[in-house]
Amino acid sequence: MFRIKVPRYWRHKDFRYRLNAWKCNHCGEVHFFKPLVCRRCRLREFNKVMLPETGKLIAYTIVRSPPCGFEEQTPYIIGFIELEDGTRILSQITDCYPEELKLGMKVEVTFRRVREDDPDKIIAYGYKFRPAI
Ligand SMILES: [Zn+2]
């Protein structure tokens, strides 16, 4: 049975709630969760940065066979987004139908319910993207 691991989800709340990430002071690589060492240059100094809240849609797919915990949302759209600073991120796309999507269209971040753990009724929130208004 699917269970949300609350401590881990909570530790990542800065990224999931506010798109705060960690940028390597040496090479500029962006990490979504604070790493011990940079995956590119192996150094250990990072600055917390806020990623841009807008970007463009560069690819998407419609999920009809979801992973555990996402069955109630099926079908849903997963987009590959390039943020204004060039960082690329995967995200669920919300507030639109698939036929409204166009590659290259501008999208913006929004804060939504991501999933719910049934036995404990724990609701996980986080970022999703939607067509820019
Ligand atoms: Zn680095």
Which structural domain range is residue 75 located in? Answer: 6-131
Q: How much distance in Å is there from the Cα of 23 to the middle of ligand 1?
A: 8
Asked whether residue 73 is assigned to any structural domain, the reply reads yes
Q: Where do the H-state alpha helices sit in 63-122?
A: none
AA letter at 98: P
99 assigned to some structural domain: yes
Quote the ligand 1 centre to 14 CA distance (angstroms).
Answer: 20
pLDDT band at 26 (very low <50, low <70, confident <90, very high): very high
pTM over 0.95: no
Please, are residues 77 and 101 in contact by the beta-carbon 8 Å criterion? yes
Identify whether 61 is part of a domain.
yes
Q: From the CA of 90, how far away is ligand 1's center (Å)?
A: 21
Domain assignment present for residue 79? The answer is: yes
For ligand 1, the distance from its centroid to the CA atom of residue 113, given in whole angstroms, is 33
In whole angstroms, what is the distance from residue 119 CA to residue 117 CA? 6
% of the chain with per-residue pLDDT over 70: 93
Q: How many domains is the chain partitioned into structurally? A: 1
The percent helix, strand, coil of the chain (3-state, each to 5) is 15, 45, 45
Task: Please report which confidence band the pLDDT of residue 2 belongs to, taking 50, 70 and 90 as the band edges.
Answer: low
Q: Evaluate whether residue 38 is within a structural domain.
A: yes
Q: Separation of 45 CA from ligand 1 center, angstroms?
A: 8
Tokens of 89: 């991120």
Residue 86 in any domain: the answer is: yes
For residues 119 and 59, what is the distance between their CA atoms, to the nearest angstrom? 35
Residue-wise pLDDT tens digits, 39-93: 999 999 999 999 999 999 999 999 999 888 788 888 999 999 999 999 999 999 9
- The answer to whether position 32 is within a domain reads yes
Is residue 1 assigned to a domain?
no
